């Protein structure tokens, strides 16, 4: 009883019903095409009708062999991990094909003369058995193809879910990292300039609003991202001394361009974290340009790396950025980094997907 319920469930599933519709459609198409060919060649409607009747019967026999294997014998015997069931599959098919085609063999046999050697009958029998077993093999390959495609689709879906989960985790790391670095900078302002510290707290609230609420989509407008970076630069400029040269340039031709949120935040953070000295001349030059659909981020700054005792936001920024770029823009980005004569240079080129 349980087996019958499983068979009913298998045969009446939405996917298998669509496959069944395709099989019946192919059957009807073959019968119609062959009848049309006969009518065009013979110019006889009656001949076409007779051809349709005969071929409908013959192809129906083959169709049943295919369907019996596709829906029952292949999934329950051939695909089972049992040698006994594999042998049973071929034996049952042999018995089924012989019994199912007994009528057509009888008709063909009755039409033959009583000759000592009836080669035509045996040739017909061999060819017809080959055609039936071709249906068995076809059922095996069609099920394999469908199962293979289903597994590939499931793997793609699982991979996509894992990628989205990792991206969400990486982006969630950015917010506390960004907040930690920014608060660390504001805390130093409270001792140097309380007024600037108060102003910085107001700017920080705007930055946090964007980072927490407007970066939820997978992509945001490039103009919005640039506005965020400008605000961040203005905030960091408050704590910079007169010995620091800060320049920024933003040239965007396509205002509708989208980009992953906060993707350039880490190098900008690092520029202010490692590029400013308390008593030495320092500089930070940041630019974002867009041309022909390519976005180029460039950051150059003097290099005064923190010592090992400094733990402010250490360890996740650049690795996070590399991983996000690889997940979001695989094969569509380039990163150039170099340090020369106490100058740090990073260039990120991204070719966003077209929408």
- For 228-256, the pLDDT digits (tens) are 899 888 888 877 778 889 999 999 888 78
The label of the residue with tokens 């042998």 reads 87
C-alpha 78/C-alpha 91 separation (Å) is 11
Highest mean pLDDT among 73-77, 235-239, 316-320: 73-77
Confidence grade of residue 312 (pLDDT, cut at 50, 70, 90): very low
Which residues, 6+ apart, have CB-to-CB distance to 323 below 8 Å? 166, 170
Residue 345 has a pLDDT of 93
Instruction: Work out the mean pLDDT of the chain and round it to a whole number.
Output: 78
The answer, yes or no, to whether residue 223 has pLDDT greater than 60, is yes
- For 13-42, the pLDDT digits (tens) are 555 666 667 777 777 777 677 667 766 776
More confident residue, 129 or 17: 129
More confident residue, 116 or 24: 24
Task: Please report how many Cα atoms fall inside a 13 Å half-sphere around the Cα of residue 138, on the Cβ side.
Answer: 14
% of the chain with per-residue pLDDT over 90: 11
197-218: average pLDDT:
76
302-306: average pLDDT:
81
By CB atoms closer than 10 A (0-12, 13-18, 19+), residue 30 is: middle
Confidence grade of residue 310 (pLDDT, cut at 50, 70, 90): low
Closest C-alpha to 328, from 267, 257, 254, 261: 261
Q: Are 301 and 344 in contact (CB under 8 A)?
A: yes
Which residues, 6+ apart, have CB-to-CB distance to 276 below 8 Å? 240, 244, 282, 284, 302, 304
Residue 212 has a pLDDT of 74
**φ, ψ for residue 162, nearest 5 deg:** -65, -40
Q: Are 255 and 220 in contact (CB under 8 A)?
A: no
The label of the residue with tokens 């090992």 reads 308
The answer, yes or no, to whether residue 8 has pLDDT greater than 60, is no
Residue 155 has a pLDDT of 84
- For 172-190, the pLDDT digits (tens) are 665 666 666 667 666 666 6
Residue 347 has a pLDDT of 94
300-309: average pLDDT:
76
C-alpha 272/C-alpha 241 separation (Å) is 12
Confidence grade of residue 313 (pLDDT, cut at 50, 70, 90): very low
């Amino acid at each position: 009883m349980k087996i019958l319920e499983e068979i009913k469930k298998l045969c009446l599933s939405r996917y298998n019903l669509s496959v069944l519709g395709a099989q019946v459609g192919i059957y009807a198409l073959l019968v119609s095409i062959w009848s049309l060919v006969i009518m065009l060649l013979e110019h006889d409607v009656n001949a076409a009708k007779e051809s349709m009747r005969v071929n409908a019967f013959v192809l129906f026999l083959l169709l049943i062999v295919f369907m019996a294997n596709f829906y029952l014998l292949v999934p329950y015997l051939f695909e089972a991990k049992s040698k006994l069931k594999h042998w049973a599959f071929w034996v049952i098919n042999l018995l089924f094909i012989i019994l199912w085609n007994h009528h057509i063999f009888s008709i063909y046999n009755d039409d033959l003369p009583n000759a000592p050697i009836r080669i035509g009958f045996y040739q017909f029998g061999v060819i017809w058995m080959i055609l039936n077993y071709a249906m068995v093999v076809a059922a095996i390959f069609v099920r394999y193809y469908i199962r293979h495609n289903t597994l590939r689709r499931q793997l793609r879906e699982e991979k996509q879910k894992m990628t989205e989960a990792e991206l969400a985790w990486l982006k969630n790391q950015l917010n506390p990292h960004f907040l930690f670095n920014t608060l660390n900078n504001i805390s130093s302002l409270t001792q140097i300039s309380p007024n600037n510290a108060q102003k910085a707290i107001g700017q920080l609230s705007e930055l946090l609003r964007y980072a927490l609420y407007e970066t939820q989509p997978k992509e945001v407008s490039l103009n919005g991202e640039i506005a965020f970076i400008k605000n961040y630069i203005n905030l960091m400029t408050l704590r910079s001394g007169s010995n620091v040269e800060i320049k920024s340039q933003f040239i965007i031709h396509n205002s509708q361009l989208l980009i992953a949120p906060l993707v350039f935040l880490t190098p900008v953070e690092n520029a202010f974290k490692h590029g400013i000295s308390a008593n030495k001349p320092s500089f930070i030059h940041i630019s974002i340009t867009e041309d022909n659909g390519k976005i180029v981020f460039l950051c150059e700054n003097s290099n005064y790396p923190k010592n090992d005792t400094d733990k402010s936001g250490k360890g996740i920024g650049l690795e996070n950025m590399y991983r996000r770029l690889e997940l979001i823009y695989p094969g569509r980005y380039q990163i150039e980094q170099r340090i020369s004569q106490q100058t740090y240079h990073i260039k990120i080129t991204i070719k966003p997907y077209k929408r």
